[in-house]
Amino acid sequence: MNSRNCVLRIHKYFLLALLCMLVSLPAHAQDQVDPIKYSKSNRWVSSTKVYYQNSLRITIHDGDDYKFITEGYRDHKPVWSKTGEMVTFFRATGKTDFKSFHEYRTHICVVNSDGTSFRELTDAENPNVNPTWTRDGSNFIIYNQLAKSLFGKSKIFWIASDAQMNDAILISNPDNAECAESGLKDGRIFIYRINRMAYTLNYITPFYTLPNTQSYLLLDPKTKIYYPVQRQNKYPTHKLSLSPSETKIVYMKDLDGKLNTYNDAVIAYAEFELENLVVKNEVVISSADSDHIDMYPRWSPDERYIVYSSSRGIGNMWAMKQYIYDLDTGKTHKISNHNFTVDMYPCFEDIPK
């Protein structure tokens, strides 16, 4: 065999090996998209505050453009509906300095994504917080009503997006302390239940998290049947978001057992087996730091990214910006690029929490 044929054969095997490597890569790894460009190619919603203003506005981001769809109030935690081009959120009223979440007095609200047809669905006699949407196309809004005191019981309600004021229906067991997290396509809701004795003891046992403080379940709001979810994690978690394919979850993992303290929490995601109701293979993507807070993670439509709010590098614990985490590369990028002192609670279009 002459040297020319030998070189050609080596090139042939090299190209064949390279082709095999490319074929074996996941489809999304072959088509890598810059995370910042990705965030600009998909619409998303957040709560924003502009310099010299005290209000938090619900804001639609579209590429480099943005549009305020509410004005003049403190509007928190927007969630885009799965269908119908609607956004739900809660509106804070009364005093601005909250010593405790139990002091919130808030409305659950809904507005079209173009800013029209704003409506308050509840009064503000209670702490009504953290709304999301059913994923079965019924456009019911699920929300939590916190107790007015530390030792009270949180409850889960739902209400139709076109309902009259205060027509909400209690769907959780009033004897339990429960909070809704994320809806499923089959109509069930990912919730957590607090063991109130263990939760209370966590407040007098600093630096230690008692096991069994919290249990996760799926709740069928129509039958009121609860389905236990298995997880290997003694730490309480909250602000959970289920991925569009319902195969992963992302959440804030609380490290001190006190769900109302945020600077000890880290962002983590894990696999979720819907068939067996098992959470496994947790991956932590941020670090706890007393100087900043990472909070409220949500999924991108293709599940390649996780978006969340963070005050890292700002010096003010609640002066948030938006960040995007790339599951393929393990890298985090800042995506807030406007003149906002606060930009938090990101949620992509048509992807409920």
Residue pLDDT, tens place only, 274-285: 999 999 999 999
User: Is this structure's pTM higher than 0.75?
Assistant: yes
Angle value at C-alpha 204, between 203 and 210, nearest 5 degrees = 70
What integer pLDDT is reported at residue 7 of this predicted model? 40
Compute the distance between CA of residue 82 and CA of residue 79 in angstroms, rounded to an integer.
9
Token pair, residue 206, equals 């600093």
Q: What is the pLDDT of residues 36-60, one digit of tens each?
A: 899 989 999 999 998 777 789 999 9
What integer pLDDT is reported at residue 224 of this predicted model? 95
What integer pLDDT is reported at residue 14 of this predicted model? 47
Please report the DSSP string for 113-149 in residue order: TTS-S-EE-S-SSSBEEEEEE-SSSS-EEEEEE--SS
Q: What is the pLDDT of residues 72-95, one digit of tens each?
A: 899 999 999 998 899 999 999 865
Number of H helices, E strands in the chain: 4, 24
- What is the set of domains in the chain, with CATH numbers? 33-348 (2.120.10.30)
The 3-state DSSP class for residue 349 equals coil
- Listed as ranges, residues in the chain with pLDDT below 70 are 1-33, 94-101, 150-151, 202-203, 206-210
Token pair, residue 244, equals 């569009």
**Cβ pair 189, 241 in contact under 8 A:** no
What integer pLDDT is reported at residue 178 of this predicted model? 96
